[in-house]
Chains A and B, each alone.
Chain A
Amino acid sequence: MVPLHYYLLLSAILFACGVTGFLIKRNIITIFMSIELMLNAVNLSFVAFAARWHVLSGQVFVFFVMVVAAAETAVGLAIIIAVYRTRETLNVDQVNLLKL
C-alpha cells in the first residue's frame, strides 16, 4: 500500500527537475531532454491515477503522450541539426538572431 500522494510527489519532483533543467541548461540538446523529463513525470501521474481509480484510460493516455513525444523528438532533433549546421553552436545564448 503506497499512498497516492507519494506517486504524485515523485511526479512533481521530477517535473520540477525538468523545469529547472529547461531554465538553467544552455545546451539546446539538454534543454530538449528536460522537456522529455517533464513528459515522463506527467506520465507517472497518469498511471498512478489510473491505478487509484481503476480506469484504464490513464494508461492509454500515456501511450498517446509517448507517441507525441516521439514525433516531437524527431522534429526537434532535426531542427537542432539544422541550427547546428548554420550556426555551428549548440548554445542557446548564441542562437539569438532570426537570420543568418
Chain B
Amino acid sequence: MLHLILFSVFAVIAVAGALNLLVQRHPISSALSLIVVMGSLAVEYLLLGAEFVAAIQVIIYAGAIMVLFVFVIMLLNAGVEERTKGSKVALILGFPAMLVGGLLVAWVLLRAPNVGSVNVGAMYGPPKAIGWLLFHDFLLPFEVTSVLVLIAIMGAVVLASPVRSRFSRPQPEPERQALKAAAGTEPAHEETVTARRSS
C-alpha cells in the first residue's frame, strides 16, 4: 500500500514536471521542470530497489547533463521562446498527435494480459552486481561506449571552438572579401585592412 502511495505521489510529480516543461516558455523553467522529473524518477528507481541506478540518475542526469543545459542557456542568454507560424502549426497538430499516441499506447498496455506486479525493492541492484555484469557480460558494449564518449568529447571540442580556429579555413577567399567590401559591412573593412597590411 505504501509502495502504491509513494509511486503515485512521485508519478504525479513527474507528470506535472513533464507537462510544465511543455507549458513553460522560458528554457530555464523547462530545464528546472525536467530536473524535477529526473529527481522523481530517481525516487521511482529507489522504490524498485535499483539504488545504484537512482544514484547515477541523480549524479549524471540531474548533476551533469542538466547543469550543462543550464550552462548553455546562461551562456547563450536564451530568452523567452518566440511564437512563429511554425509553432502555431505545431501546437495545432502536436497536442492531438500526443493525445492519440498516448491513448493508443495506454489502450495497448491496459488490454494486454495481466503481466504481474512488482514489490518494493523487487530487483535489488547493488553496485557490486552491476559492476560484475558490466565488466563480464557487457564488456564489449562497455568498451564501445567508452570509444563513443571519447569521440563525443573531441567532437564537442571541435564544434564549440571558435570558427576561425586553425582547424577551419584560415582566410576567406578574395571574391568573398570583395563581395563583403562591396556590401560595405564593418568586418569587410577590417578584412581589407588586414589584407592590405599583409600584402
Contact = CB atoms under 8 A, between A and B. Distances in A.
Contacts of B83: 26
B44 A44 contact: yes
B60 A66 contact: yes
B27 A29 contact: yes
A81 B115 contact: no
A99 B91 CA distance: 28
Contacts of B76: 29, 80-81, 84, 90
A86 B134 CA distance: 42
B106 A9 contact: yes
A14 to B, nearest CB: 5
| Chain A interface helix/strand/loop/mixed | helix
Contacts of A27: 27, 78, 81
A87 B35 CA distance: 29
Given A7-B118, A23-B90, A57-B137, A29 B101 contact: no
A26 B116 contact: no
In which size bucket is the chain A interface? 35 or more
Given A6-B11, A17-B15, A56-B133, A26 B84 contact: yes
Given A56-B125, A75-B159, A20 B22 contact: yes
A23 B93 CA distance: 8
Given A37-B18, A74-B152, A16 B102 contact: yes
B160 interface: yes
B183 interface: no
Contact of B4 (A2, A9, A48, A56): A2
Interface in A51-78: 51-52, 54-60, 62-64, 66-75, 77-78
B26 to A, nearest CB: 9
Given A14-B14, A26-B83, A62-B50, 19 more contacts: A1-B4, A12-B109, A15-B105, A20-B22, A26-B82, A33-B34, A40-B37, A47-B44, A59-B123, A66-B56, A66-B61, A68-B145, A69-B65, A70-B64, A71-B149, A73-B69, A75-B152, A75-B159, A81-B75
Shortest Cβ-Cβ A-B pairs, 4 listed: A71-B152, A78-B159, A23-B94, A17-B18
12 contacts: A2-B4, A2-B7, A4-B117, A14-B18, A17-B19, A29-B73, A37-B37, A40-B41, A44-B45, A55-B123, A64-B138, A86-B163
